[in-house]
């Protein structure tokens, strides 16, 4: 590869990192067996925080954010991948600890990569991204926990966002009846298009529970919010219900009673959206490819370029981004 490549990057500033778009030296790339020519990335809540300089301490500048990427292998010493292969990287420190997906090139360990599913494109995989992988991992946890379609409603919080949209589309496709909780009731038609059977305002949940055990409403929940919303869900879950905790847009702490855990056997499971065993993640990708319809994927996806990322980050942190956004990283 050349000595530099095009990227959105952060440079050190007196008041915090500054966003720049231009050429960065190839030396910013980490060690790794596989060199990838990146075609697409996406934006997640973590990415928005990084772009705005919130919550991360960057030691080395310039730094290329972006926890997701997809593209073509250019060089590889890993026996699992060869030049020309289409691959996906979701997490494992990309865009947080080392240069990520907001540049034309990336380097990674082969053990972190997943082949683009047959019949899919690199763009398709970034429409899914970490949000979609997390949603499928949550569905797999429901199955391990004994939840079955027809066994009760599944609540999805933060329903209009990327994780929420993916969860609705995939869980409904798997046969579950999905209830979507959102602060944007104007998105009712959109959420129904993705497969939601019922839409409720987030105000029903965000105040916290008024007693340790509330009326049983849901068999399971994909929670992207945390905080008081999560506490309300814990108190409202049915016997042996499962909560997949995936996000913290409403707060990274919560206060809840232990009584639902003792008397109802409620189970709270954390989902490793950006890490975890690669075999499990490859299984998740295979299941996504079989489960997620093109119509639903297209319904939740819009396109953008690197220049759009600073404003997109503001919109995401304000809770105004609907569904998924694919970023074309090339100029």
pTM: 0.95
User: Computed from CA positions of residues 307, 309, 314, 319, in that sequence, does the dihedral angle turn out positive or negative?
Assistant: positive
Domain covering 4-116+300-328, topology:
Quinone Oxidoreductase; Chain A, domain 1 (3.90.180)
How many angstroms from the chain centroid is the CA of residue 17?
24
**pLDDT band at residue 323 using 50, 70 and 90 as cut-offs:** very high
Assigned token pair, 46: 């973590």
Domain covering 130-270, topology:
Rossmann fold (3.40.50)
How many angstroms from the chain centroid is the CA of residue 204?
24
13: left (phi over 0), alpha (psi -120 to 50) or beta: beta
* Cis before 115 (ω within 30): no
| 73 vs 80: CA distance, rounded Å | 11
Phi, psi torsion values for 52, nearest 5 degrees: -90, 5
CB atoms near residue 198 (< 10 Å): 13
Arithmetic mean of pLDDT, 107-130: 97
**pLDDT band at residue 55 using 50, 70 and 90 as cut-offs:** confident
Asked whether the beta carbons of 229 and 202 are under 8 A apart, the reply is yes
Asked whether the beta carbons of 170 and 136 are under 8 A apart, the reply is yes
Q: What is the pLDDT of residue 249?
A: 87
Arithmetic mean of pLDDT, 128-151: 97
The CA angle 131-295-133, to the nearest 5 degrees, is 20
Q: What is the pLDDT of residue 48?
A: 95
Percent of the chain scoring above 70 in pLDDT = 100
**pLDDT band at residue 59 using 50, 70 and 90 as cut-offs:** confident
Q: Which of 6-15, 22-31, 270-279 has the highest mean predicted lDDT (pLDDT)?
A: 22-31
Strand 34-42 to 105-108 pairing:
antiparallel
- Residues 6+ away with beta carbon under 8 Å from 34: 73, 75, 76, 77, 78, 81, 87, 107, 108, 109, 110, 113
**pLDDT of residue 56 exceeding 80:** no
Arithmetic mean of pLDDT, 161-183: 97
Which regions of the chain carry the CATH code 3.90.180.10? 4-116+300-328
User: Computed from CA positions of residues 243, 244, 250, 252, in that sequence, does the dihedral angle turn out positive or negative?
Assistant: positive
Phi, psi torsion values for 170, nearest 5 degrees: -80, -40
Which regions of the chain carry the CATH code 3.40.50.720? 130-270
Look up tokens 């772009």; give the residue.
Answer: 51
| 93 vs 112: CA distance, rounded Å | 10
């Amino acid at each position: 590869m050349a000595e530099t490549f095009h990227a959105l990057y952060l440079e050190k500033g007196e008041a915090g990192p500054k966003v720049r778009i231009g050429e960065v030296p190839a030396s910013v790339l980490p060690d790794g067996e596989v060199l990838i020519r990146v075609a697409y990335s996406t934006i997640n809540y973590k990415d928005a925080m990084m772009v705005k300089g919130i919550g991360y301490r960057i030691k080395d500048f310039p730094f290329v954010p972006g926890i997701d990427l997809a593209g073509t292998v250019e060089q590889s010493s890993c026996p699992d991948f060869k030049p020309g292969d289409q691959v996906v990287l979701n997490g494992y420190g990309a865009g947080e600890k080392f240069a990520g997906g907001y540049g034309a090139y990336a380097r990674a360990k082969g053990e972190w990569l997943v082949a683009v599913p047959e019949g899919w494109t690199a763009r398709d995989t970034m429409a899914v991204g970490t949000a979609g992988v997390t949603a499928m991992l949550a569905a797999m946890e429901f199955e391990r926990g004994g939840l079955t379609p027809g066994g009760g409603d599944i609540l999805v919080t933060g329903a209009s966002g990327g994780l929420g949209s993916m969860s609705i589309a995939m869980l409904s496709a798997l046969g579950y009846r999905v209830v979507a909780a959102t602060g944007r009731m104007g998105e009712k038609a959109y959420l129904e298009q993705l497969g939601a059977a019922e839409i409720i305002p987030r105000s029903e949940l965000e105040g916290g529970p008024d007693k340790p055990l509330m009326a049983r409403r849901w068999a399971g929940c994909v929670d992207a919010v945390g905080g008081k919303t999560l506490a309300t869900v814990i108190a409202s879950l049915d016997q042996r219900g499962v909560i997949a905790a995936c996000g913290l847009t409403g707060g990274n702490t919560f206060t809840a009673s232990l009584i639902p855990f003792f008397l109802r056997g409620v189970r709270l499971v954390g989902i490793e959206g950006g890490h975890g065993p690669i075999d499990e993640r490859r299984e998740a990708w295979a299941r996504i490819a079989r489960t997620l319809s093109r119509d639903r994927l297209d319904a939740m996806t819009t396109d953008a370029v690197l220049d759009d990322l600073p404003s997109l980050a503001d919109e995401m942190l304000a809770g105004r981004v609907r569904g998924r956004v694919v970023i074309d990283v090339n100029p």
